[in-house]
Amino acid sequence: MSEKVRNWIGHGLVLLVFLVAVWMLLHELKDPDGKQYSAQVILQRLKSISTGQLLWALALTVFSYVVLFGYDVLALQSIGRSLPLWRVAIAAFVGHCCSFNFGAILGGSTVRYRLYSLWGLSAVDIVKLLLVLGVTFWVGALALAGAMFWWQPIHIPEKLQEAFAKFHLTFTSVQPLAPILIGIVILYLGLSFFNRRPLRIKGHELHLPSLRMAISQLIVASADFVVAASVLYVLLPKSVEISFAQFLSIYLLAIVGGVATHVPGGVGILELVVLSLVTSSQQAPVEKDALFASLLAFRVVYYLLPLFPALALLGAADVLTPQKHKASSPPASH
């Protein structure tokens, strides 16, 4: 099978997952009488979000993107390269904005390749940097999810329990996953401490970071998830009574699900997971239209608003970079 065919199949599967998620989301968005909520009702709920909630969400969004700067700082340190901090900040901000809105492969990786190649990094350096970014994300996600799933386990809705039962699985919560996730992180930290030899994967050498670097990855990525979850948490309607710890578990599951399915921005996945799990965690009925409006506001504040300055910075970086740098840089077509 050719690479082109495999790519088409991969894109087709991603599209299928997205369509299924949207279908399930529409199925969830019904009032107690079983009627679909109209766009007008959702818009009214959006207008009911207070100015104070929006200001908190905006402030936390700014703080979140400052935390995201740490990903690229650690990645450059890990591969032994250095750049002026303002360039790293631009690459981190633009890269994450594009990744959130267009997906890691089509957005974040392509944009970072463009910027870092303009600024003199080789293709090999950039591939290593992207690998470190991915590892940092997953180390933080697995560590924090493992801790939260153990401390504040998410109850699996009855419909999913029935689906698992067909495969002779009797999970009622995600707590059994916690030791596995934490074990993977401990293994990574242990290898970083004890094994100084590079790992060989498909003919390529992978140098493990020092224990100090691995712990730094864990801290930065964990802080990223906590602050990002806070943005959505402050936008939740007052009718939702849930602790931040409980909500963080749900948010982690939603974000990891979106990344794992490769749906750009986790569109549909994030909304479906948060809507269904928050609703099932409440004893009193939840106004789903209000909760969905909060999710839409989160997408606008955290994903869409930062995208406009990010695209402007991307264009400015391309125009203002000296021609001699561009001539010596690797091609940006990858």
Q: Would you state the pLDDT for residue 254?
A: 86
Q: Would you state the pLDDT for residue 7?
A: 54
Tell me how far apart the alpha carbons of residues 146 and 189 are, in angstroms, rounded to a whole number: 15
Check: CB of residue 79 under 8 Å from CB of residue 129.
yes
Which stretch of 70-84, 120-134, 171-185, 212-226 has the lowest confidence by average pLDDT? 171-185
Q: Report yes or no on 333 lying in a domain.
A: no
Read off φ and ψ for residue 80, nearest 5 degrees. Answer: 75, 30
Structure confidence at residue 11 as a pLDDT band (50, 70, 90)? low
Work out the number of other CB atoms within 10 angstroms of the CB of residue 160: 16
Tell me how far apart the alpha carbons of residues 190 and 206 are, in angstroms, rounded to a whole number: 16
Q: Report yes or no on 334 lying in a domain.
A: no
Q: What is the arithmetic mean of pLDDT over 118-143?
A: 91
Which stretch of 104-108, 161-165, 218-222, 255-259 has the lowest confidence by average pLDDT? 161-165
**Could you tell me which residue, 128 or 104, shows the higher pLDDT?**
128
Q: Report yes or no on 144 lying in a domain.
A: yes
Instruction: Tell which residue, 136, 32, 3, 166, has the closest CA to residue 74.
Output: 136
Q: Report yes or no on 320 lying in a domain.
A: yes
pLDDT of 128 strictly over 50? yes
Check: CB of residue 164 under 8 Å from CB of residue 170.
yes
Q: Report yes or no on 7 lying in a domain.
A: yes
Mean pLDDT comparison of 24-28, 210-214, 290-294, 313-317, highest-scoring range: 210-214
Structural domain of 142 = 3-29+37-328
Tell me how far apart the alpha carbons of residues 249 and 125 are, in angstroms, rounded to a whole number: 35
Structure confidence at residue 330 as a pLDDT band (50, 70, 90)? very low
Residue with structure tokens 């703080």? Answer: 63
Read off φ and ψ for residue 174, nearest 5 degrees. Answer: -90, 5
Instruction: Tell which residue, 160, 134, 162, has the closest CA to residue 256.
Output: 134
Tell me how far apart the alpha carbons of residues 244 and 248 are, in angstroms, rounded to a whole number: 6
Q: State how many domains the chain has.
A: 1
Q: Would you state the pLDDT for residue 28?
A: 59
Structure confidence at residue 333 as a pLDDT band (50, 70, 90)? very low
